[in-house]
Structure 1
């Protein structure tokens, strides 16, 4: 079988093999079906070749032992860290000290723990580092030696504007680097699903080629101008920090020039895919790799089809949902409208290296930021949830069915109807659950509990947690809520205003739809199968913890008690007023501190389940082993966010089930 025009079969098989190994065993199903398809087409050679290469694709990730002294070159950086390329591999080094690209450094470092993903909305740092071929994370103690080296990136930086905002956009457009000054704009671009227009990619390669070709054509013959343009672009592409989309676009451009008579576009793309996966199988977790390669694959497939732009846009939706769990209804029109603007924008940034264009660039950036603010202010986001693999499979079945039908010049009504039905079903499934969930969200050292009623009758938070080092609302709570399809919070109940219970409240109100905040005793509330009461002790204590609002929650016949940071004195006052309380599930007071959860209180409650919101290796030593022992003596099932991550107690058909990492 000739390799030319068949390389796509190899690439698809390689990706399926890697997906089985690194993503989920469910990919065995499409892998088996695809192998049957290849056998029917008598493409057994494809299976044989990939089978021989399989040990390379599924090789284990190699662990390294590092000393406290490391030596390497800076290959990427931002305001909080740099990437150092060493003999062992790339290392992420946390530092706020400023360096230059290609600086050779000898550093004294200490190891830093890599954050593992616990919940759906979490950023998976472990896979992110592996997908970028970064083998470990360190924190810089001091610089032992620093030697600068020439790089084109540094030449560019020297010619960048002194204006901070213009400089940030120059960094993003010309070097693919993002600093703190552009962070908020970049987050908005991501939420609007237009960030691909600003990340260095194939569009920018085309613009740059046209600029260089027109300039060189003034002095040289066209074929010489073509060679020189591509040579200069190659020097640029491989002289700036590694950018997977940019390199893909450039290598495709060169491949078309050199091999267009022997290989088609799909073959060239397949070679690049196989090369990337051979180098680093974890690249399938790199969102730039997935987005750039898959969207370009769809562009190639649909280049002769009417309505190509719509099909390509639809193809990106599951990827966008995996990133944001929401869609912007104007994103397609916004992308189309912005494309000519970006061409002008990028062209001006290229010329800004040689010409004084600050005034014009300032105007354009101001116009663009205003457009972002206006679009975001329209509240045009539809929160769905993160899609399941089953949904993604059905979605792309519809897309490819449309493409096949179009190629055969047949009606696409059936796959379009199925696609519409699928999206409607997914929307309903995301929002309207048939069960009630109580989820203690892992916010580290703090409390934050979500109560989600069935059929979108209501969503309530009891406390919000808080972290002085980073914005807990935008980094944890909101991504988690969106990942499970929640677009609003009907009420936030604040037990008391300690930072670890309420610190994220202001940011949550600013960045999410919060209808009401309740921080004082309130009247009994009932909604569907849920009743919420506030218990009071009729005392005012000197300790703010003992003044915590106490929430008594009933779901069907199951009783919850949320005591905030109530201490022993407050517990005693509660027992004196209410006597014996019927409690099935207890949110353990003060994160399991020994100053709460007295023997008398726990003996009176006898909870079947004890929930503890606590940070891993926290400096307070929470939860106390004395409290844990008391809970175990009562026969309570103990759930802890430091060990279980976010956990959920699901109520359905008058029963409840515990869902966590272990189960």
Structure 2
């Protein structure tokens, strides 16, 4: 026993490696850049701590197994069921039924509250998996929230009532709305009840731009503020440490119920209690060990929690603060808070940039000031006034000043559009930051690391692709077309896909640090080809819109009209316009021919067999199949005339038109063309490196497991030569 206790004590502070190994394993599923770090971590444990190596293997196996189980579990699809309402919003509610949680939308005419037992008649809502990088994946979002399906209720009847933990938060909000109004009500809902929807609508945009929106999401900061306040209070009351821990634990447990059992609060409370118990009972675990254990428990319950920004931010910042405790020591409370804020912002920067797509120069000072304000004044004042309503005027004054300060700072336009667009850039940044912190803690300078981090940011902004690289990306935008051609000196988008409430293409371009397109060419005017034009025009700088007519009267960009026989020159690329007719007709589609890299491309829009029979066609290497593979396009004569090596079909999953047509696919396969489909492979990219050849990759989360590996194992093909007669391809399968 003594030897065991001694061994455990010697490993205190090293159990964090179990958490590191587990998190890296889950990250490796979708981010290959994490794999070498996982191997390095396991190699380190094998060499220096065999006991922990065995434990890490066990942790990795359990988490990957849980990931597989959750990822492949069938979604809830019963159209008629009974369940208990657990939370309520204006037009939706979550319902617990058959041991799972489902999200139910409705038209707003049904009035329910947590604890209601309801009979539901609904239709299943389906969502296509995310297949454009940086895009919002609704399916993974549901999994990260522990929701097994989404439905739309056509009938919802309350048949009873029972207790549910969500009732506590719901009733307290109802009490607050009766007791308070104005800024005081907003402050209480935000900081005492953890209701981020109470933030005034006009402050949503400046809060996101400044990177302070996290202040209004119930989080570990609220837990920390409550715990610190109670610790200071109980210390003045001269209560013993054990008694303090009990009272604080009870208070935090009640706060968890008040916030409806929010995942972020459960996580933060568990972290605090784990550290407190370890210190109280002098267990051989450090604060980092406790954080790692809680993280592993959360991920074992739901591995998709790692997808949420809240999880990544809270644990990353918590680890950084604990590990950087030597740097943060300061007798002055304000200076210490400022140091913590600087460290937290530096560590969280890649995640915040991924969320916001920009960096606001006033963001760091705003975070430092507002975090201090919320931590030391807003949260305590909100709780105090909630229990002492007579002090409401005081909270009104605090709220008015707080909201006006956010609005005032938000009017200062100091945003820089930048993002670490690749996982490799994020990893490089964190490595540089880690080295800088180690050097700083040892009293050495960090000028070199600062220069390296600055250069990395500049390169991420200025060089979103490999210098000299050309590429054609066929986005999976469902039943529509959107094709991005990138080459030195040229960025052109051919069609925009249909209207998209998630702004998937806008997110892609901004988070790839692409803020200007030379041309947006619209092959014709169908909604599935021009639907996102206005959103793109509002969000990006567009040199010209190229079309056969003015298809966007409200756009800022000017329209350049084009006709058959014209050439569109973009950088070193020349697009020959083989046909351009009436934008209202499929056969009026603009048809383009261009040599990109070492391939001859033919872009056909929705051109049909009538147009195909009217033109003389060149031999091509890659054909963008017309009209999503419809039977009205891609005739046998056309296939024989163009003789494509590769055919790409942009088409939606389970579309109601039956595209692509089986006869068209057989026709292409009979011609020995390799067929790529966005409904099967997701977004497909053809890259042409400066040293020659063609690299084909795809981005899809269709099976929701092993996407990073799928990009190589299922989709990756490297063509060393691109002519059909001497193709040498290395297919990794």
Aligned to 2:264: 245
CA offsets 1:524-561 (integer angstroms, 9 cap, x no match): 33233311243446x669x6323333333332564333
1:171–1:178 CA contact under 8 A, matched in 2: yes
Q: d(CA) in 2 for partners of 1:65 and 1:557?
A: 44
Deviation at 1:235, TM superposition (A): 0.8
1:516 aligned residue (534, 541, 544): 544
Q: CA deviation at 1:449?
A: 0.9
The answer to whether the Cα contact below 8 Å between 1:284 and 1:290 also exists between their aligned partners in 2 is yes
Q: Secondary structure at the match of 1:649?
A: strand
Aligned to 1:287: 309
Q: Secondary structure at the match of 2:298?
A: helix
Which of residues 588, 600, 604 in structure 2 aligns to 1:563? 604
Query: Contact between 1:567 and 1:595, CA under 8 Å: does it hold in 2?
Result: yes
Q: 1:369 to 1:409 in 2, by over 3 A?
A: closer
Higher relative contact order (CA 8 A, sep 6+): 2
Is structure 2 residue 528 aligned with structure 1 residue 500? Answer: yes
Report the counterpart of residue 471 of structure 1 in structure 2: 501
Correspondent of 2:25 among 17, 20, 27 = 20
- Partners of 1:10 and 1:50 within 8 A in 2: no
Q: Are the equivalent residues in 2 in contact too, given 1:256–1:265 (CA < 8 A)?
A: yes
Q: Which of 624, 638, 648 is residue 587 of structure 1 equivalent to?
A: 624
Give the C-alpha shift of residue 461 in structure 1. 0.9
Kindly tell me: are residues 337 and 435 of structure 1, through their superposed partners in 2, closer, same or farther at Cα, counting changes over 3 Å?
Answer: same
1: CA distance, partners of 2:33 / 2:597:
36
Q: Is the 8 A contact 2:18 2:292 kept in 1?
A: no
- Offset from partner CA, 1:452-501 (integer Å, 9 cap, x none): 123xx23111111113xx425x2x10122234332222221122222111
Kindly state the Cα deviation for residue 427 of structure 1 after the two structures are TM-superposed: 4.2
State the secondary structure of the residue aligned to 1:496.
Answer: coil
Shift of 1:509: 1.4
Q: Are 1:593 and 1:623, in contact at CA under 8 Å, matched by a contact in 2?
A: yes
Instruction: Tell me the residue number matched to 1:604.
Output: 641
Task: Choose 288-297 or 561-570, whichever is displaced more.
Answer: 561-570
What is the rounded CA distance, in whole Å, between the counterparts of 1:134 and 1:549 in structure 2?
A: 44
8 Å CA contact 2:358, 2:415 repeated in 1 = no
Comparing 419-428 and 481-490, the one that deviates more: 419-428
2:552 — aligned with what? none
Q: Does 1:152 align with 2:155?
A: no
How far does residue 291 in structure 1 lie from its aligned partner after superposition? 0.9
Q: RMSD value over aligned CA atoms?
A: 3.9
1:37-56 alignment runs, 5 A limit = 37-38=44-45, 41=48, 43-51=49-57, 56=62
Aligned residues: 646
1:401 matched residue in structure 2: 435
Structure 1 residue 304, shift from structure 2 partner: 2.6
The answer on whether the counterparts of 1:492 and 1:517 sit within 8 Å (CA) in structure 2 is yes
Q: Call closer, same or farther: CA 1:629–1:569 in 2, change over 3 Å.
A: same
Does residue 626 of the first structure (1) align with residue 663 of the second (2)?
Answer: yes
Alignment deviations for residues 361-412 of structure 1 (CA, whole Å, 9 cap, x no partner): 884576366347525x544222441323xx4443333323223333333344
In structure 2, how many angstroms separate the alpha carbons of the residues matched to 1:296 and 1:605? 59
Counterpart of 2:421 in structure 1 is 385
285-294 or 43-52: which moved more? 43-52
Corresponding residue for residue 720 of structure 2 = none
The Cα shift of 1:612 comes to 2.2
Q: 1:649 aligns with which of 686, 708, 728?
A: 686
2:421 and 2:75 map into 1 onto residues whose CA distance is 40
**Is 1:193 the equivalent of 2:198?**
no
Residues 552 and 406 of structure 1, relative CA distance in 2, 3 Å threshold: same
**Residue 528 (str. 1) matches residue 575 (str. 2):** no
Q: In 2, Cα distance between the equivalents of 1:479 and 1:187?
A: 16
Classify 1:254/1:18 alpha carbon distance in 2 versus 1 (closer, same or farther; 3 Å).
closer
Pairing partner for 1:481 from 509, 534, 546: 509
- Per-residue deviation at 1:335? 1.4
| Whole-Å separation in 2 of the counterparts to 1:166 and 1:465 | 45
Residue 567 of structure 1 and its aligned partner are, at CA, apart by 3.0
Unaligned runs of 5+ in 2: 1-5, 329-338, 549-560, 699-710, 717-733
Q: How does 1:222-621 map to 2 (within 5 A)?
A: 231-254=250-273, 259-261=278-280, 262=282, 264-305=286-327, 309-324=341-356, 326-343=358-375, 344-346=377-379, 349-350=382-383, 353=386, 354=389, 363=400, 367=404, 370-371=407-408, 374-375=411-412, 377-388=413-424, 391-430=425-464, 433-454=467-488, 457-467=489-499, 470-471=500-501, 474=503, 476-520=504-548, 521-522=561-562, 523-536=566-579, 544-555=585-596, 558-573=599-614, 575=615, 579-621=616-658
Residues 425 and 64 of structure 1: is their aligned pair in 2 closer, same or farther, counting only changes over 3 Å?
closer
Any conservation in 2 of the 1:165–1:181 contact (CA below 8 Å)?
Answer: no
Say whether 1:658 aligns with 2:690: no
Retained in 1: the 8 A contact 2:577–2:592? Answer: yes
In the superposition, the TM-score normalised over structure 2's length comes to: 0.76
Post-superposition offset of 1:414: 4.6
**C-alpha distance 209-381 of structure 1, shift in aligned 2 (>3 A):** same
Which of 10, 20, 34 pairs up with 2:41? 34
Q: Distance in 1 between matches of 2:697 and 2:646?
A: 13
> Counterparts of 1:347 and 1:629 in 2: how far apart (Å)?
69
Mapped partners of 2:222, 2:64: distance in 1: 34
SS in 2 for 1:260: helix
> d(CA) in 2 for partners of 1:613 and 1:167?
50
Q: CA deviation at 1:2?
A: 5.1
Q: Is the 8 A contact 1:496 1:549 kept in 2?
A: yes
> 583-592 vs 291-300, which deviates more?
583-592
Following the alignment from structure 1 to structure 2, what is the Cα–Cα distance between the partners of residues 217 and 37?
43
Distance 1:168 1:450, change over 3 A: farther
CA distance in structure 1 between the aligned counterparts of 2:647 and 2:688, rounded to whole angstroms? 16
CA contact (8 A) 2:601 2:622 kept: yes
Once the two structures are TM-superposed, the CA of residue 319 in structure 1 deviates from its matched residue by: 2.5
- The whole-number CA distance in structure 2 between the counterparts of 1:588 and 1:333 is 52
Kindly provide the CA deviation profile for residues 150-207 of structure 1, in whole angstroms up to 9, marking residues without a partner as x: 7321222213449899977765544445559978965764454332222212332344
